[in-house]
Amino acid sequence: MTKSLADFLEELDSNAELKEAYLKAPVATAKSYGLEEADVTLIKNKDWDAVTKQFESSGNTVKVHSY
């Protein structure tokens, strides 16, 4: 089952192992999490504006993190 980008971002905030993996290999981590290819591409291209819009459209509040 494909997971949503919003779910991925929420879990990044609460799952230390996932965050550590993401910091080492963001694209591979997004793929292994089960994101759709379009969402993986957003991460690969670092299209944070599109990521923010998609996250906000899911009804979530954006939290800013710098890694």
pLDDT score, position 57: 82
Q: Determine, yes or no, domain membership for 44.
A: yes
The domain containing residue 40 runs over which residues?
5-57
- Model-level pTM? 0.80
Grade residue 2 by pLDDT with cuts at 50, 70 and 90.
Answer: low
Is 28 part of a structural domain of the chain?
yes
- The more confident residue out of 23 and 62 is 23
65, part of any domain: no
- In order, the DSSP letters of 12-50 are HHH-HHHHHHHHH-HHHHHHHHTB-HHHHHHHHTT-HHH
Domain count for the chain: 1
3: helix, strand or coil: strand
For residue 25, tell me if it sits in a domain. Answer: yes
Q: How confident is the model at residue 55 (pLDDT cuts 50, 70, 90)?
A: confident
Mean pLDDT of 10-36: 95
How far apart are alpha carbons 67 and 63 in whole angstroms? 13
**For residue 1, pLDDT beyond 60:** no
